[in-house]
Amino acid sequence: MHSIEIPSIEQSILIPSEWDDCSNEQAEFILKHAMRLISGELDMEVFQSIIFKYFTGIKTGISYIIRQKLGLNKSINERIFALSSELCSWVFEKNEIGNYQLSFETVNNFFPVLLSKYHGPKALLSDLSFSEFNDALSLLNLYYDQKDDFEESENTLNQFLSIIYRPLDNQGIRIAYNPNSINSDIFKSELTWRKQLIAVWFSYCIKCLQSQDLVIDGLEVNFKALFPEASNSNTGKNKIHLGWKGVLMDIAESGVFGDAKGTGATSLYDILIFLLKKQQEQPKQP
C-alpha cells in the first residue's frame, strides 16, 4: 500500500500498490477503466490520472478547466502525471513486444455477487466441489477456444458463470451445484467486461493451485506434483489442461468419497489433498 503524507492537514492518503490492497469497490473502479484503456477509449496517461484522482480525491473544478483551456495547467498536470505514473503503474505491465497488458493476478474474487442474487466462489476457489470445478474448467477452455467468435464465446462464458454463480438457500449458503441447471440466458444482461475478468481470475486461481505453496485448514501443501509438466505447454494462452481425464471415475471406484455422484460433490480441496497423499504413498522409483 502506498502512503502519501499531507503535513499541512496532518493526514495521509493510502493508494493500493497491488490488487490485494483493494476493496471490491476499488478494484471494480480500476478494472472498469482498465477495460476502457484496453478498448482504446483511454490512453495510459489518462487512465493513471483517473485512478490517482479517485484515490486522492483531487477535484478538477471550473477554475482548473478554464486554466486547462488556456494552457496554464502545465505544472500541475506534470506533477499529477508524475505521481500517477509512479503510484498507479502496477495495474498494467509491458509484454515482450512492449505493449501494455492488464496484470490481474489475485486469488480474491472482486465480483462476489452478480445481478444482485447470484453468488460466486470464495477466494482461490476454496468452496467449489470437484464436479463443479471440472465442468467450469471445461467450459472455460471452450470459451478461450472460441475467442474469435464473439457470439459463441459469450454464450459459453454465460454457461461457465451459471455453474459457479448460484443463488443462496435459506441458510445463506449457495445452493448445491446441479449440472442440469447450466443456463446461458441468466447472465446475458451482465456486463461483458466483468464476465471476462471473472474468467481471468478463475484461470489465475488454477495456476496458483498448480504451483504455489498453500495453507489449507492449517496444513501446508503444494499441489505441483499433481500437474504434469505438459500442462505448461498450452496451445492457447489462457487454456489450462490438467490431465485429469478419468480422475473422477478412478476415485469413485475406490469408494473413498462414495460413488461418482458423491465424489463429484466432494470439495475440490479434499480431492486434491487425497490425490497428493496417494501420490506421496507411491514407492519411489529406484
pLDDT (tens digit per residue) in 237-281: 566 666 555 666 667 677 788 877 888 889 999 988 888 888 777
> Which residues have C-beta within 8 Å of that of residue 74, sequence separation ≥ 6?
none
Quick one: pLDDT at residue 235?
45
One domain, residues 142 and 259: yes
pLDDT exceeds 60 at position 67 = no
Counted residue by residue, the chain has a size of 286
**Domain encompassing residue 145:** 113-281
- pLDDT for residue 249: 64
Is the domain of 124 the same as that of 81?
Answer: no
pLDDT at site 159: 96
Alpha-helical (H) ranges within the chain are 24-38, 44-56, 62-69, 74-87, 130-145, 150-164, 192-211, 247-254, 260-265, 268-281
pLDDT digits (tens, 9 = 90+) for 192-220: 999 999 999 999 999 999 888 888 888 88
Beta strands per DSSP E along 213-257: 213-216, 219-222
Residue 108 lies in a domain: no
Whether 117 and 94 share a structural domain: no
Residue 229 shares a structural domain with residue 134:
yes
107 in any annotated domain: no
Percent of the chain past pLDDT 90, that is, above it, reads: 45
Quick one: 87 and 117 in the same domain? no
Q: How far is CA 179 from CA 166, 169, 188, 209, in A?
A: 12, 17, 19, 24
Q: Are 35 and 26 in contact (CB under 8 A)?
A: no
In this structure, are 138 and 237 located in the same domain? yes
| Res 234: pLDDT | 47
**For the chain, what is the domain count?**
2
Asked if 123 and 155 sit in the same domain, the reply is: yes
Q: Which of 12-16, 18-22, 39-43, 230-234 has the lowest mean pLDDT?
A: 230-234
Are residues 246 and 169 part of one domain? yes
Mean pLDDT of 46-65: 74
pLDDT of residue 228: 63
**74, 79, 75: which is closest to 53 by C-alpha?**
79
Q: Which of 8-17, 25-34, 96-105, 154-163 has the lowest mean pLDDT?
A: 8-17
